[in-house]
Amino acid sequence: DSGVTQTPKHLITATGQRVTLRCSPRSGDLSVYWYQQSLDQGLQFLIQYYNGEERAKGNILERFSAQQFPDLHSELNLSSLELGDSALYFCASSVDPGLRNTEAFFGQGTRLTVV
Amino acid sequence: AQSVTQPDIHITVSEGASLELRCNYSYGATPYLFWYVQSPGQGLQLLLKYFSGDTLVQGIKGFEAEFKRSQSSFNLRKPSVHWSDAAEYFCAVGRRGDYKLSFGAGTTVTVRA
């Protein structure tokens, strides 16, 4: 168990809908990362938050957004869902905003299926 | 930009045999290197990491990896594979102070009895 908790584990929804994925980082970790794992794109970095503020953006669509709350949990919001958004979404957390001799710990992921 | 190549999409190995998974990276400075394992239906578990120092790194589950700067490689090895090692393995590269990891496409390992 990495200590990173993601809910829900599975989500099935229809095209055009909006969903929210939730992540609770390890205790003491201030940085949260979101990754998408799809068959065609592999594992791709989406976005990072550090202590409530957006730190970096990767290949995140405009239909997607995220935030980190004062208690440090994070939510990834996916809207106007398309079939191609079906993927495994991972959250990871680390102590600091960059990789300074630490590593990121990954949650179990949320499997999103868009039908 | 950093990138990672895992040349082998799928490897089949007999239980008890040795395993080597290849990883090549493209990066302008000294990278931080990682190997993660993903079992079916599971999340990513860190096997080992290299930040600096000794280029031979020991990890969990009997795995080790060697950083070879001259070859831009970070190959993962295990002397004797167990059936429970069947999984997908990802090599990743990052850098100090950076915010993200770049992952390879993964290598699926099948273990036959």
State residue A100's pLDDT score: 65
DSSP per-residue letters across A50-105:
ETTEEEEE-S--TTEEEEE-TTS-EEEEE-S--GGG-EEEEEEEESSSS-SS---E
The pair of three-digit structure tokens given for residue B96, joined into one six-digit string: 């100090």
Gyration radius of chain B's alpha carbons? 13
B36 touches A at CB < 8 Å: yes
State residue B99's pLDDT score: 64
In this prediction, the residues of chain B whose per-residue pLDDT falls under 70 are 99
Q: How many CB pairs below 8 A link A and B?
A: 57
User: Which of A96, A99, A102, A111 would you mutate first to test chain B, the one with the most B CBs within 10 A?
Assistant: A99
CB-CB neighbors (< 8 A) of A43 in chain B: 90, 92, 103, 106
Tokens 């994070």 found at: A74
Whether B44 and A90 lie within 8 Å, measured CB to CB: yes
pLDDT per residue, tens digit, chain A (115 aa), is 789 999 999 999 999 999 999 999 999 999 999 999 998 889 999 999 999 999 989 989 999 999 999 999 999 999 999 999 999 999 999 887 776 667 788 999 999 999 9
State residue A40's pLDDT score: 87
